[in-house]
Chain A
């Protein structure tokens, strides 16, 4: 069964450093998403991406964040200068359709900013 994969599973970085989180969505999916989950809280939408551009972004997704699909398989989230409050689980998701399409999540990357 196809699945979304993410690397690394755990990333530890120092405040102010740049991190890149990587995702490989399901191959025939066209819509890609990043979500964040701070420990013990609900999952929050960050950004959606379609046709090589951002479709929608939340208030959390400020200028420190960027997304890219550098090739036909990878989808990345970059945080330019990490802050302590960026510590969270980051989930990538993909779907075949936009509204009403099932979104399948990856296992997540745990980001720890020290």
Chain B
């Protein structure tokens, strides 16, 4: 079955810096890759996604890239702000979501 690996597990950046989180997946049949942000005590919130026919997608300060050949995709957050601090999960969708292990992002003011 599908397996998703996510790195790093923790990431600490200064406010204004960029943050990059990377994921790899195993099932070449996966064709949809969402990213979720989870704040303490809340459910995962969909922040951006990418489909397999697209290499890059951007929404204001966040962007996602996908390399289908290498089976990896990444989340890029630019000009980070303290409110970006949360746990971020990547996932691959094969009808169900298979999540990565999560990255705890801390943005220091």
Contact = CB atoms under 8 A, between A and B. Distances in A.
Nearest to A110: B41
A42 B31 contact: no
A43 B95 contact: no
Nearest to B33: A100
Q: Is the interface of B mostly helix, strand, loop or mixed?
A: strand
Interface in A54-91: 55-56, 58, 91
Interface of B: 31-32, 34, 36, 42-46, 49, 51, 89, 93-102
Contacts of A98: 95
A102 B35 CA distance: 10
Closest 4 A-B residue pairs measured CB to CB? A105-B43, A100-B32, A45-B96, A43-B99
Nearest to B42: A107
A99 B49 contact: no
Which range holds the interface residue count of chain A? 20 to 34
Interface of A: 4, 33, 35, 41-45, 48, 55-56, 58, 91, 93, 98-108
Contacts of B99: 42-44
